[in-house]
Amino acid sequence: MPVLSKESRITKTKALKPSEFIPTLCAALERELARLNEYNDKEEFPWDSVKALAPLGAWGMLFPKKYGGLGLGHVEYTKALEEFGRIDSSLALTAESHNSLCGSTILRFGNEEQRKKYLPKMARGMMGAWALTEPEAGSDAKSLKTKAELKNDSWVLNGSKTFTTQGSVAGVYVIFASTTPGAEGRGISAFVAEPGPGLTIGKTEKKMGLRASDTAQLHLVDLKLPKENLLGDLNRGFPIAMQILEAGRVAISGVSIGMARGAIEWTLKETMRRGGDEARGRSLRKRWAGENPGLTATQKIIAQHTAKLHAVRMLTHYAAQLIDEGKPFSFYASLAKLLSGELAMQAATEMLDILGDEARFMDNHVTKLFRDAKLYQIGEGTSEIQAMLIYRHLSSNLDLLLKP
Ligand SMILES: Cc1cc2nc3c(=O)[nH]c(=O)nc-3n(C[C@H](O)[C@H](O)[C@H](O)COP(=O)(O)OP(=O)(O)OC[C@H]3O[C@@H](n4cnc5c(N)ncnc54)[C@H](O)[C@@H]3O)c2cc1C
């Protein structure tokens, strides 16, 4: 995968008001759709689309204006990610991981010098990556093995990272490593790094979906970082990662909502074009016509998924609003992540059933969403991990069952 020179993709950001941003973004994404589909086919990172969206502020959505960002709140940001998810969930993952994972770690836990050094460049389109997961440490991230040792006033990192989004195309990396061996969650620290000697790109993954999103292994071999590249406090990396992932779950829910909306919308357009549910399999029509002769199978499926879409969107916006208000939100973030991931998968599956024969074609938008949706149930904490967290919250506070 070609890595373009960092400077060639840095573009000046236009000063858009937050209220203008989402409609402008939506129109720009629509214009990018055909090009993004080509990048998905070729399994290449969509640098042209990244560059085209940079002047709107898409790569600094959460960064304050003084760092070249748009300074959006989380509700607006979640709405913007919905638009990305509707059009292309690969670019949506890029937007989410760049802004919520790498960017937010530097913004929330970096010092002023680190923010000034990286955030304006990231806002202009220099990609950020966030490397926590390792071959033997996924859901159980605190068991990571990458080590960072302080030698002659420099940190020296050794280890391997896997599934790093933007791993092979980033200009800046946030990397988590053990600084106190054996201390697990109390001995991990976060670092900021740039491409260079000691940081080698390993295999870039061939994925069933999200084919225009870059996912790479990283090998750190005596990666030497200046002492000041520590992000946040020493040995506080694990709580930092968990806080970042909690907010990331709300953001990624926005993407999944967009995917479900895209699947319903494309299917509706297609079924209306064909004049109803003629393309739907006979067996489904027979099964449901018996129960409710006036209602076609297609209408029922579309209505059910639309109801779920609205419910999950409200829940996600509620969690985003809690973040904006500085209130505890992690329970709602897990609910939103669990439900939105399931919704995207179910909506894409059922919409493919409605589309019938068309579902076989690789260039069908819903087919692409179907391939992509599965991976949204895994990243930022799997559905099983969300269920575990929800249960843990409920077992200590039954009031969480009440209306928020
Ligand atoms: C497309 C994509 C992009 C990604 N991008 C990034 C990135 O940018 N940076 C990064 O650091 N990581 C990234 N990841 C990694 C992702 O966060 C991990 O894949 C995820 O945390 C799961 O880890 P794992 O794959 O090792 O699975 P495991 O942790 O090995 O889990 C395997 C299965 O066991 C289940 N399981 C595990 N533990 C438990 C438990 N305690 N209770 C019940 N069930 C359990 C899981 O739910 C899952 O079904 C990405 C992953 C994907 C798919």
**Cα of 363 to ligand 1 centre, how many Å?**
28
Inter-residue contact 124 to 54 (CB < 8 Å) = yes
Query: How is residue 328 written in tokens?
Result: 């505890």
Final residue of a domain: which of 74, 93, 127? Answer: 127
Indicate whether residue 97 lines ligand 1 (CB < 6 A): yes
Residue 120 shares a structural domain with residue 179: no
Residue 314 shares a structural domain with residue 265: yes
Residue 10 shares a structural domain with residue 57: yes
This prediction has a pTM of 0.92
Indicate whether residue 160 lines ligand 1 (CB < 6 A): no
Residue 123 shares a structural domain with residue 188: no
Ligand 1, atom 31, lies closest to the CA of 139
Final residue of a domain: which of 100, 127, 154? Answer: 127
Residue 84 shares a structural domain with residue 118: yes
**Cα of 61 to ligand 1 centre, how many Å?**
26
String of DSSP letters for 246-260: HHHHHHHHHHHHHHH
The total domain count for the chain is 3
Residue 213 shares a structural domain with residue 282: no
Q: How far apart are CA 294 and CA 292, in angstroms?
A: 6
Ligand 1, atom 27, lies closest to the CA of 138
Count CA atoms closer than 13 A to 307's CA, side-chain side: 6
Domain of 304, CATH number, reads: 1.20.140.10
Residue 343 shares a structural domain with residue 218: no
Q: How far apart are CA 177 and CA 182, in angstroms?
A: 12
Query: How is residue 309 written in tokens?
Result: 């879409």
Indicate whether residue 217 lines ligand 1 (CB < 6 A): no
Final residue of a domain: which of 196, 220, 235? Answer: 235
**Residue 213 domain-assigned?**
yes
Residue 118 shares a structural domain with residue 138: no
Indicate whether residue 216 lines ligand 1 (CB < 6 A): no
**Cα of 378 to ligand 1 centre, how many Å?**
6
**Cα of 90 to ligand 1 centre, how many Å?**
18
Residue-range definition of the domain harbouring residue 270 = 238-401
Indicate whether residue 384 lines ligand 1 (CB < 6 A): yes
pLDDT of residue 279: 47
Indicate whether residue 133 lines ligand 1 (CB < 6 A): yes
Inter-residue contact 361 to 355 (CB < 8 Å) = no
Indicate whether residue 143 lines ligand 1 (CB < 6 A): no
pLDDT of residue 286: 53
SS3 403: coil
Q: How far apart are CA 136 and CA 161, in angstroms?
A: 9
Q: How far apart are CA 188 and CA 399, in angstroms?
A: 34
Indicate whether residue 139 lines ligand 1 (CB < 6 A): yes
**Residue 369 domain-assigned?**
yes
Q: In order along the chain (404 residues), what is the average pLDDT of each group of 10 residues?
A: 39 65 96 96 97 97 97 97 98 98 98 98 98 94 96 96 98 98 94 97 95 98 98 98 98 98 92 58 50 67 95 98 97 98 96 80 88 92 94 95 82
Beta pairing, strands 215-226 & 199-204: antiparallel
**Cα of 130 to ligand 1 centre, how many Å?**
14
pLDDT of residue 20: 87
Domain of 201, CATH number, reads: 2.40.110.10
**Cα of 139 to ligand 1 centre, how many Å?**
5
Q: How far apart are CA 280 and CA 264, in angstroms?
A: 14
pLDDT of residue 355: 83
**Cα of 95 to ligand 1 centre, how many Å?**
20
**Residue 1 domain-assigned?**
no
Ligand 1, atom 23, lies closest to the CA of 138
> Each residue of 288-316: pLDDT tens digit?
555 555 557 778 889 999 999 999 999 99
Q: How far apart are CA 238 and CA 392, in angstroms?
A: 19
Indicate whether residue 375 lines ligand 1 (CB < 6 A): yes
Atom of ligand 1 at shortest distance to CA of 382? Answer: 47
Indicate whether residue 378 lines ligand 1 (CB < 6 A): yes
Mutating to test ligand 1, I would choose from 378, 389, 390 the residue with most ligand atoms within 8 A of its C-beta, which is 378
pLDDT of residue 300: 85
What is the set of active-site residues? 380
pLDDT of residue 299: 83
Ligand 1, atom 30, lies closest to the CA of 138
